[in-house]
Chain A
Amino acid sequence: MNARSKMILGRVAQAIPVIMGVVVISFLLTRALPGDPAAYFAGPAADEASIAEIREALGLDKPLFQQFFYYIADLARGDLGTSLTTGQAVMSDLAARLPASLELTLVALLLSCAIAIPLGVLAATRPGTWVDHLCRVLVTAGVSMPTFFTGIVLIYVFYYLAGIAPSPLGRLDFIYLSPPHVTGFYLIDAALAGDPETWLGALKQLILPATTLALFTLAPIARMTRAAMLSALSSDFIRTARAAGLGSRKVLYGYAFRNALLPVVTTLGMVFSFTLGANVLVEKVFAWPGIGSYAVEALVVSDYAAVQGFVLAMALLFVVLNLIIDIAYALIDPRIGLK
């Protein structure tokens, strides 16, 4: 077994207690939520008896430890329960919504990085010039405008006034059919199916929400790139490299940028995880069937199974994400071993 597989196995093993903790805490926290799901779901005119019936059907009349036992038993079978808000199995809800959120977030982050990293590097190499000021203005504007506001403004300008953006109706306009499911990412699935029309349709729907999210995530990435570049450029090894007569391109990209990447990757990981859960408002504005609005709706009505499923899915996702980031560290900085 090579070092990499060992490291990955070790990391996965480390994640097990974390996941177990998440299971217990999410179970207890959802039960601690105020509100009575049985009364809520019994409907507008239900009487005491029918509320009691529903409580029994949901297993909420049982003592807490027994409920927990059932939950663990179901979980072991891969059954996350049924969401009351959507009426679907939580597993199929997550399977439908997680790819939607991931696709949007990833596209937004790619867009954001494509702008923020060059901008940060330029701002660091030319501090005090117009590039630096532009960076500052963009970053301030990006964070200070709430995403739902940016979203509505973009819809207003590009859809309502200019008429160039497609109807903000979610992942695909109603004239298209969702591509045959492979990954759940419409762009990938449509490409695999060799359906350029649907691919283009899915891309068009992505542009506005992804731009909205990108504007919001621009700030931390650009700021971090700029700061990391500044500190890298002022460090001793850069002075040495310059003194040794290396070309400015080699110094900048070969040494400074590579060293500055570590904090940028860390930020990227944080921004990604934050965005995935926090793009509720963008999802609402663009009717995007994502995971954020799902979790919020479930939380509001104390939909236990859905909230637990969401927390668990996010925990698993973060374990994977951290693993990827750690491997990325090792690639960027050879001193960080994979021990």
Chain B
Amino acid sequence: MTDTSRRNFLKLSGCTVGAAMLPFLKTMPAHAQSNGRIVVVSGQTINSLDLHRTGTNRASYQVAVNCYDRLVSFGTKDAPGGGLSYDYSVIEPELAESWKISDDGLTMTFKIKPNATFWDGRKVTAADVKWSFDRAVSAGGFPTVQMKAGGLERPDQFKAVDEETFVITLDRPSKLTLPDLAVPVPFIINSEVALANATEDDPWAMEYLHTTPAGSGAFKVVRWDQGQQLVYERNDGWVGGPLPSFQQVIVREVPSPATRRALVERGDVQMSFNIPNKDASELEAMDGVDVYSTPIENCIHCLCPNFSFEPFQDANVRKALAYAIPYDAIFQTAAYGRGAPMWGGETAINDIAWPRKSPYMTDMAKAKEHMAASSFASGFEVPLSISLGLADWMEPTALLMQEAFAEIGIKTEIEKIPGANWRSAALVEKRLPLHLENFGGWLNTPDYYFFWAYKNGHLFNSSNYLNEEIEELVDNTLHIPMDDPAYAPNITRMFEIAFEDLPRIPLWQPALNVAMKGAAGYEFWFHRQLDVRPLTTATT
């Protein structure tokens, strides 16, 4: 017999379980319950409060938008699909009061608002702007790439002339520089707070700002429980724009779309951000719930035939694909009709609107004709690759395509690639013979889209497409102003080549869906994250 008794057993099991427990969250100061509060649910998780940090995911960009200011911002316009949208063509001041661009376009001088202060009350100076810009171009990874798109590459391009004057010197003039200052990346950090928390190994205070934002923006973060919620509190001293109407914004993470839907339908939360197309079309029919479906600017869902796969080097095969796709069925099934169709456009290109409808439509007779005219008339087999991470639209699309392509003798097998491998396989190695792709450019000009998706070797050119004329056209167009006489003809020519060569067969322009109940003022932004600043209580 042993001396183990029931009482001892209970004691023992109690302490072993206790030993497995480890410290949990710190409690934060209580937030007062006020009616100026909005609760938003989202399926995405925020993994950092600092956009510049390596590994920061897309959902976290909202912190850069809501808690920090940039020098400039975009204007607002009415959006197709309801609600408002940012306006790429209008640049508005945020932290900068005014700016001047020299006649040669190489020097940009910004005057910072004299009354702008950080949350700790210190005045925002040009030195803070310089430090923040230096950080963005030195951090590496995505922020540095995005800065480069606007011609901002090295710290020596940025100069703090005096407290309120900041000067950017460019290597060449570019129409992309000013808009690139309004994207979430070049946000302005309180450099004194950051430097006080920097170390020798971490000169840019990545570890500190990762959990503790230090900015001048409209909202402060009062609480962040990773994987659960982010709580914003309004900064009443904000001078970057009109003071937000909500005192407090709670962003809760709810992974299940069904649960999010139930919450917004019951009205326990005021907003569900980025909802599935299916829920959007069903909620729209409901009373009291407002659904906004904004077609994402400069973004197209495409089918990409890879030029490194022999049959797709044949232009007739690519055209056969473009005529065989059951566009409307796909749009209705995979997107529930939300977004904008990108097929059945006019053959003649009379304007430079982008994204635009391709001149192709479902026409099996033409598809068969092109197949017969190709050197692969007897058909071939090819895997059709999709990403499991984007299966919600890719899977139904691929299934419908598989059926249609079989009719013209192209036998496809759907290859599902895990989300973690998708990037390497599709974009980096560019080894998928036939696949779906959905690049969207932040800077809203067609040449910027072409730069990423049609130039050889560039990341989103997953078709290994190479056309000398496109290379030259993009290089010549990317930085010239939109009112340059060469601009429109160049763009038109790019469209012609793109639709003739078809390295990317456009399907539809996807939409970002948001449902609201008891709140208003939603604004769509190209970064596809929630800007909580313009939200208001519903007036209707």
Q: Does B252 contact A (CB under 8 A)?
A: yes
Q: Is the CB of B21 within 8 A of A96?
A: no
Q: Does B378 contact A (CB under 8 A)?
A: no
Q: Is the CB of B6 within 8 A of A331?
A: yes
A22-40 interface mask toward B, CB cutoff 8 Å, 1 = contact, 0 = none?
0000000000011111011
Q: How far is the CB of B506 from chain A (nearest CB, A)?
A: 20
Please name the residue on chain B nearest to A301 by beta carbon: B420
Q: Is the CB of A178 within 8 A of B27?
A: yes
Stretch at the interface among B52-60, B112-120, B121-129: B52-60
A103 to B102, alpha carbons, bound, how many Å? 64
Q: How far is the CB of A95 from chain B (nearest CB, A)?
A: 3
Q: Is the CB of B24 within 8 A of A96?
A: yes
Q: Is the CB of B12 within 8 A of A174?
A: no
Q: Name the one of B250, B254, B268, B421 contacting A287, with C-beta atoms under 8 angstroms.
A: B254
Given contacts A2-B3, A174-B229, contact A44 B24 (CB under 8 A): no
Q: Is the CB of B28 within 8 A of A45?
A: no
Q: Is the CB of A181 within 8 A of B27?
A: yes
Give the contacts of A146-180 with B (CB-CB under 8 A): 148, 152, 155-156, 159-160, 163, 167-171, 174-175, 177-180
Q: Does B419 contact A (CB under 8 A)?
A: yes
Q: Does A41 contact B (CB under 8 A)?
A: yes
Q: Name the one of B28, B56, B420 contacting A177, with C-beta atoms under 8 angstroms.
A: B28
**In the assembled complex, which residues on chain A have CB atoms less than 8 Å from the CB atom of B47?**
84-88
Q: How far is the CB of B452 from chain A (nearest CB, A)?
A: 7
Q: Is the CB of B258 within 8 A of A45?
A: no
A92 to B22, alpha carbons, bound, how many Å? 8
Most buried by A among B25, B56, B146: B25
Q: How far is the CB of B201 from chain A (nearest CB, A)?
A: 12
**In the assembled complex, which residues on chain B have CB atoms less than 8 Å from the CB atom of A94?**
22
Q: Does A300 contact B (CB under 8 A)?
A: yes
**In the assembled complex, which residues on chain A have CB atoms less than 8 Å from the CB atom of B423?**
36, 39-40
Q: Is the CB of A4 within 8 A of B1?
A: no
Q: Does A136 contact B (CB under 8 A)?
A: no
Given contacts A46-B145, A86-B45, A302-B420, contact A287 B253 (CB under 8 A): yes
Q: Name the one of B24, B149, B418, B459 contacting A34, with C-beta atoms under 8 angstroms.
A: B418
A281-303 interface mask toward B, CB cutoff 8 Å, 1 = contact, 0 = none?
00111110100011001001110
Give the contacts of A68-124 with B (CB-CB under 8 A): 84-88, 91-99, 102
Most buried by B among A36, A95, A174: A174
Q: Is the CB of A35 within 8 A of B228?
A: no
Q: Does A54 contact B (CB under 8 A)?
A: yes
Q: Is the CB of A184 within 8 A of B141?
A: no
B1-21 interface mask toward A, CB cutoff 8 Å, 1 = contact, 0 = none?
111101011001100111111
Q: Is the CB of B259 within 8 A of A97?
A: no
A235 to B467, alpha carbons, bound, how many Å? 84
Q: Does A323 contact B (CB under 8 A)?
A: yes
Interface residues on B, range: 35 or more
Q: Is the CB of B20 within 8 A of A98?
A: yes
Q: Is the CB of A98 within 8 A of B420?
A: no
Given contacts A47-B459, A183-B18, A317-B20, contact A34 B262 (CB under 8 A): no
Q: Is the CB of A177 within 8 A of B30?
A: yes
**In the assembled complex, which residues on chain A have CB atoms less than 8 Å from the CB atom of B259?**
152, 155, 168, 285-287
Q: Is the CB of A331 within 8 A of B4?
A: yes
Q: Does B320 contact A (CB under 8 A)?
A: no
Q: Does A61 contact B (CB under 8 A)?
A: no
Q: Is the CB of B227 within 8 A of A328?
A: no
**In the assembled complex, which residues on chain B have CB atoms less than 8 Å from the CB atom of A287?**
228, 252-256, 259
**In the assembled complex, which residues on chain A have CB atoms less than 8 Å from the CB atom of B385?**
none
Q: Does A57 contact B (CB under 8 A)?
A: yes
Q: Does A327 contact B (CB under 8 A)?
A: yes
Q: Is the CB of B226 within 8 A of A35?
A: no
A201 to B220, alpha carbons, bound, how many Å? 27
**In the assembled complex, which residues on chain A have CB atoms less than 8 Å from the CB atom of B210?**
87
Q: Does B269 contact A (CB under 8 A)?
A: yes
Q: Which 6 A-B pairs have the closest CB atoms?
A: A43-B142, A35-B420, A95-B22, A87-B47, A184-B24, A287-B254
Listed A/B pairs (18) with beta-carbon separation below 8 Å:
A41-B55, A50-B140, A50-B144, A88-B226, A152-B258, A152-B259, A160-B266, A168-B263, A169-B254, A174-B252, A181-B23, A184-B24, A283-B255, A287-B252, A289-B225, A301-B420, A317-B20, A334-B1
Q: Residues on B close to A: CB < 8 A? A: 1-4, 6, 8-9, 12-13, 16-28, 30, 33, 39, 41, 45, 47-48, 53-58, 60, 140-142, 144-146, 149, 210, 225-229, 250, 252-256, 258-259, 262-263, 265-266, 268-269, 389, 418-421, 423-424, 428, 452, 459
